[in-house]
């Protein structure tokens, strides 16, 4: 971004307040520009995180069994161990 370089008026009493105002505006413009750059970086990082999360979700969804499959879901890939080994051998009566 290019900074505005004002032409100095011939009256020195008139130039001081104008120069001070221009300096304040230049400082504010720099602060705003820095803030915009920081927001752009934050947005890029968030977009990357969103893409990564979508890939992880897609991976999990790809591991789901078909709707016709009646097996228990194991999304974490860990072996399923029964909570009570004695009940594992008993037939269920529903």
With respect to residue 73, please indicate whether it lies within any of the assigned structural domains: no
pLDDT in tens, 34-91: 999 999 999 999 999 999 999 999 999 998 877 766 666 555 666 656 555 555 555 5
* pTM beyond cutoff 0.75: no
The domain in which residue 42 lies consists of: 36-61
Domain count, the chain: 1
Q: Which two tokens stand for residue 3?
A: 């900074």
Asked if 15 and 8 touch (Cβ cutoff 8 Å), the reply is: yes
Rounded to whole angstroms, the Cα distance separating 74 from 86 reads 22
Contact 20, 28 (CB under 8 A): no
Q: 42 lies in a domain?
A: yes
- Residues contacting residue 18 through CB under 8 Å, at least 6 positions apart: 6, 9
């Amino acid at each position: 971004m290019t900074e505005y370089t004002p032409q100095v008026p011939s009256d020195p009493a008139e130039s001081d307040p104008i120069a001070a105002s221009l300096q304040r505006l230049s400082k504010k413009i720099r602060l705003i520009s820095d803030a915009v750059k920081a927001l752009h970086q934050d947005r890029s990082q968030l977009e990357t995180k969103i893409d990564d999360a979508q890939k992880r979700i897609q991976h999990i969804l790809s591991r789901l069994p078909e709707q016709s499959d009646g097996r228990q879901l194991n999304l974490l890939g860990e072996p399923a161990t029964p909570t009570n080994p004695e009940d594992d051998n008993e037939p269920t009566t529903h």
